[in-house]
Chain A
Amino acid sequence: MSNRALINAVFVNSARSATVLCGFVLAFLIGVIVWNGMNAMNIQFLLSASRNFGASGGILYQIIGSLLLVIMASILVLPVAVGTALFKSEYITSPTLFRISNTLIYSLNGIPSVTFGIFGLIFFVNILGTGISWFVGSIILAIMMLPTIVLTTYQSINSIPSAYREAAYALGLTKWQVIWRVLLPQGIHGAITGLLIALARAIGETAPIMFIATAFSGINLPGALNDPVVTLPTHILALAQQATNPDALQNAWGASLVLLTLVFIFSISAMFSRMHLKEISRR
């Protein structure tokens, strides 16, 4: 075998083994969570409240709390994100303003999640005096979700050929009618894709909410906007710190499997929604 062929063979095999290694590591991650999680899983676990610091009982209210946080965050973020995307695609004419808006959105995307928690702690909990509140947690998650949704919405609106807009204007439609009848139907789809991507990320976030929105125990459902909430990620955090207590560890895996399932539901829906989006823009 020539020298070149030898190098090539080494190269191909190392690429293959790197892939196998990566595949192995990633399969291990999923395997560990599913395997250990299934041991904790039963109807009782899903449908009862946690007791004894989470070492016994279930995670019903943690599941509800996590969903509550992200659903409220979605309600808060969606109108703002769609409006911002429309502003970006239909109203900004100056390139400088466009660049500034891009920079702002990208910076928001780059801020580490723990920083959002700290911002919430300073601005809402301390300066505005809201106390530890699930609603503040939703606001912070909404801010974190904003850039993703703005970008996908903007992309889908922007991918509408300008001929459509021109035709609509030629028919005598006002700008708002164009937005409402031509751009929004497509834009909403982009927004929902982005929302699902952002939800998959937001529901697993721990650092942004652990200072400002969550409690350890004593609360099932928040009664008022300024009550704290119990969530899956902070529950796993509390349990991970007692990793040698087998009961606590088992429940931590169970909670992880449930959280992961929720994340996967959101990200798989996002994938379908995105495929759907591509179909539409191809027509």
Chain B
Amino acid sequence: MRKYQRSRHAALFSLALIGTLLTMIAGCSRSESENVTVSGSSTVLPVISRAAEEYSQNNPGVRVIVNAGGSGVGITQLGEGQTDIGMISRDISASEQAKFPNAGFTTHVIGRDAVVPVVSSEIYDAGVSALTIDQIAAIYRGQITNWQEVGGPDAEILVIDKEASRGTRQVFMAVVLGDENAEAPGAKLVLGSNNEEQTALTQSNAAIGMLSQAWLNDDVKGLAIITADGSTIEPDLASIRAGEYPIARDLLLVSRSDLSEPSKAFIEFVLSAEGQQLVENAGYIKVTP
């Protein structure tokens, strides 16, 4: 009996000890560091995640906490005060402005990107390397369902859509279907982040989807766009920089009117030469020369 009692006391004691320690840790370190929380678009995430690592190294007193979730999540959390800075890969919509009238959103353009219709490498290699906007629209509307109809192999098209709140989708749909919230009845899968979409495209051999151009690689190939006059525009940095690629966008950080000093300093860091180098390293176009 005594043995059990001793183990009980030991257990209780250790729990109490851990509790005290935790409270002490929590209490002590509280005042030392300042937090900047950033949340939103998975397209902007690579830039900000690296910028956060560098910034925290240079400024040990400040921690930059980064969360993904999509542009819509970023704006919502910013409006509700759950985050200091929102990352978005599209413009703030009128309805979002209306939802948070007192937030006083300010946008900071940190880079430029294109949303590229992408296909599985098998389809690209079989000859589908450029499409018109109308063809892409017909695919997403479900009017074209086989790659044969656009000069590809005889394979059914796996149309991959993205979650409605994703900035990439809204920019893409605004150009392709004419409305950023348009429905895509041809879609067969709906996924979230650029990573998840890229994975599904790689796993399939007959898929079309939409990605930030920074996610293109040998397994997921970006389509050139055929314009009305018959010329094609490749999805490369040169055509985006020249403003020729039709589905382009600014990458933004958004702040509220009650922006804290550390948050402001972090945004300035991203816009500095050092920060802009990170934008370029991530595969986007920097905004300051």
Touch between A and B in complex, CB under 8 Å? yes
> Which residues of B have CB within 8 Å of A274?
none
Main SS at interface, chain B: helix
Q: How far is the CA of A188 from the CA of B29 in the complex (A)?
A: 34
Provide the A77-107 mask, 1 if CB < 8 A to any CB of B, else 0.
Answer: 0100000000000000000000000000000
What is the distance, in angstroms, from A188's C-beta to the closest C-beta of chain B?
A: 5
Provide the B46-73 mask, 1 if CB < 8 A to any CB of A, else 0.
Answer: 1001001100100000011111100000
| Number of B residues, CB within 8 Å of A | 42
Q: How far is the CA of A79 from the CA of B175 in the complex (A)?
A: 59
Q: B127 an interface residue at 8 Å Cβ cutoff?
A: no
> Which residues of A have CB within 8 Å of B4?
185, 189, 280
Q: B24 an interface residue at 8 Å Cβ cutoff?
A: no
Q: How far is the CA of A248 from the CA of B194 in the complex (A)?
A: 14
> Which residues of A have CB within 8 Å of B22?
68, 71-72, 75
> Which residues of B have CB within 8 Å of A189?
4, 8
A280 (CB) vs chain B CBs: closest residue? B4
Provide the A56-75 mask, 1 if CB < 8 A to any CB of B, else 0.
Answer: 00000000000010011011
Q: How far is the CA of A219 from the CA of B38 in the complex (A)?
A: 12
CB <8 Å contact, B8 and A218? no
CB <8 Å contact, A126 and B80? yes
Which of A13-21, A169-177, A220-228 interfaces with chain B?
A220-228
Where the two chains meet, the residues of B that have a C-beta atom closer than 8 Å to any C-beta of A are 1, 4-5, 8, 11-12, 15, 18-19, 22, 26, 29-30, 32-33, 35, 37-38, 45-46, 49, 52-53, 56, 63-68, 80-82, 192-193, 195-196, 198-199, 202-203, 219
Shortest 7 CB-CB distances between A and B: which pairs?
Answer: A242-B195, A223-B29, A241-B196, A224-B30, A218-B65, A244-B202, A218-B66
28 residue pairs bridging A and B, Cβ less than 8 Å apart: A53-B45, A75-B22, A126-B80, A132-B67, A132-B82, A185-B1, A185-B5, A185-B8, A188-B8, A188-B11, A189-B4, A192-B11, A216-B67, A217-B49, A217-B53, A218-B52, A218-B53, A218-B65, A218-B66, A223-B32, A223-B63, A227-B35, A227-B65, A244-B202, A244-B219, A245-B199, A248-B195, A280-B4
